[in-house]
Amino acid sequence: MDDSVSAADSGDLDSPTADGYDAPSESNTPAASSSDETSEAEGAYWRENLRLLFSLMAIWFAVSFGAGILFRDFLDQFSLGGYPLGFWFAQQGAIYVFIALIFFYVVRMKQIERKYDLHD
């Protein structure tokens, strides 16, 4: 068995062209103005993303804590499916609203990602 390896087979790993890849030259680097535009777009994207997230979390808190605990006595004078409305929100309504908020978040985030050209 021959353990020797020829220079052509081994390849020079230190060479930038050994794997057929040329290192990028300085002329290929983006200009500073495009990175400023990118950071502004990223900032706007994250502001809109966080605004949506905080809004949905506030709705979820209002429904789960507000309707299920704080306003339960007022809501109990109404009934839904034979159960007092405050009890229904505490047991099932908050879960339904949470699931609806998840679907709304998915749809809205897809719109936001398209707006900032970040979609898949």
Ordered by start, the domain boundaries in the chain are 34-115
**What type of residue sits at position 5?**
V
Tell me how far apart the alpha carbons of residues 93 and 65 are, in angstroms, rounded to a whole number.
11
Q: Per residue in 39-97, pLDDT tens?
A: 888 889 999 999 999 999 999 999 988 888 888 889 889 998 888 988 888 888 889 99
Partners of 84 in the β-ladder: 79
What global pTM score does this model have? Answer: 0.63
Give the closest residue to 112 by CA, choosing from 65, 44, 56, 58: 44
**What type of residue sits at position 89?**
F
Task: Give the DSSP H/E element, type plus range, for residue 80.
Answer: strand 79-80
CB distance 52 to 109 below 8 Å: yes
CB distance 73 to 86 below 8 Å: yes
